[in-house]
Amino acid sequence: MVEPLPDATRKYFDICTEKLGMVPNVLRAYAFDIGKLNAFTSMYNDLMLADSGLSKLEREMIAVAVSSLNRCWYCQVAHGAAVRQLSGDPVLGEALVMNWRVAPLTAKQRAMLDFAEKLTLSSSRIEEADRQALRDAGFSERDIWDIASVTGFFNMTNRVASATGMEPNPDYHGAHR
């Protein structure tokens, strides 16, 4: 981590501590290069927190399902906690981490995670019928873009987290159970 942190980064970390009770280790890891940290947080905030036809819970569900398929320790733990928090259901968070197909999901959520799984495991096999299945489930063209973008982002971050040995903050393990 760059020390001392630039004022804007220090303020961002202070907000994390205030809202989350910690600075997520992914942010600490990226803080070796403030430009990379800013790019990461900008993309994350846009995809996961900005206005979307997808709820925050649905975006976190994608993060967990993709991270589970990729066996990304960091993201399964961190985003599993977010699913537990947003849903109020610790079973949902655990089911998504272990095998999203056993989770109690709506038909629309299943369509979303089917698409995310196929995009993760065999992106070259995505075809119009896959997008049509999302439309038939009630997703708009913008929603399909957001599903694809969140899926792509977590495929990238899973690989970076795994490659760098990123460890989840211990606080995530017991959170929202």
Higher pLDDT, 28 or 173: 28
pTM confidence score: 0.94
Task: Judge contact between 175 and 84, C-beta under 8 A.
Answer: yes
In the predicted model, is pLDDT for residue 70 greater than 80? yes
SS (H, E, C) 40-68: HHHHHHHHHHCCCCCCHHHHHHHHHHHHH
Write down all domains in the chain, each with its CATH number in brackets. Answer: 7-49 (1.20.5.810), 56-174 (1.20.1290.10)
Task: Judge contact between 137 and 111, C-beta under 8 A.
Answer: yes
Half-sphere exposure of 55 (CA within 13 A, CB side): 9
The pLDDT value recorded for residue 71 is 96
The mean predicted confidence, pLDDT, of the chain is 95
